[in-house]
């Protein structure tokens, strides 16, 4: 059973972001140990994230051969982005309505810090920061279903 812990959620987002932006290419092998080292987590959340990504169609898992980035059609990506955009819009609305003043201040400070990372061209740091930013935004919606 896949747990809904924040580490797994963050890994799903981080790996899927790398796939849809082309940083991880179709057919590329996804080594659990390398990903765990890259994100400074154990292999367990990586394994669970890869299972979720497989269910989403972004990763192909083969017995005794590991996981690879799926070859995804442009139509599949367009559909996925469309769905994600709608879900994120709902999340943003809930967060705007439900976040505490402290949560808003923290989110704004993180947004400003992320702009500095973009100016510096710190892509990998920005990617990790962006994952945490979105996780905080999902938490701010104060909806268990959105957060999961």
Alpha carbon 62 to chain centroid, angstroms? 23
- Asked if 75 contacts 68 with a C-beta cutoff of 8 angstroms, the reply is no
**Residue 138 CB coordination number (10 Å):** 22
Residue 97 scores a pLDDT above 80: yes
CB-side neighbour CA atoms (13 Å) of 6:
9
The CATH class, in words, for 6-69 is mainly alpha
Residue 64 scores a pLDDT above 90: no
Sheet with 29-30, side-by-side order of all strands:
29-30, 66-69, 59-62
Alpha carbon 134 to chain centroid, angstroms? 8
At residue 56 the predicted structure's pLDDT band, cuts being 50, 70 and 90, is confident
Task: Name which residue leads in pLDDT, 133 or 104.
Answer: 104
pLDDT at 148: 66
Alpha carbon 119 to chain centroid, angstroms? 22
At residue 60 the predicted structure's pLDDT band, cuts being 50, 70 and 90, is very high
At residue 1 the predicted structure's pLDDT band, cuts being 50, 70 and 90, is very low
Query: What does residue 5 show for φ and ψ, rounded to 5 degrees?
Result: -60, 155
Partnered with residue 76 across adjacent β-strands are: none
Whole-number percent of the chain with pLDDT over 70: 96
pTM of the model: 0.57
């Amino acid at each position: 059973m896949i747990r809904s812990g924040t580490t797994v959620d963050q890994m799903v987002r981080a790996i899927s972001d790398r796939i849809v932006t082309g940083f991880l290419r179709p057919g590329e092998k996804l080594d659990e140990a390398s990903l765990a080292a890259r994100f400074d987590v154990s292999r367990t959340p990586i394994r669970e994230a890869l299972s979720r990504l497989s269910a989403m169609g972004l990763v192909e898992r083969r017995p005794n051969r590991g996981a690879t980035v799926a070859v995804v059609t442009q139509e599949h990506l367009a559909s996925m982005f469309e769905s994600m955009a709608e879900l994120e819009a709902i999340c943003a609305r809930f967060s705007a309505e439900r976040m505490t003043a402290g949560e808003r201040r923290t989110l704004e400070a993180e947004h400003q810090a992320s702009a500095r990372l973009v100016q510096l061209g710190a892509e990998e740091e920005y990617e990790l920061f962006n994952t945490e930013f979105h996780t905080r935004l999902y938490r701010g919606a104060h909806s268990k279903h959105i957060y999961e």
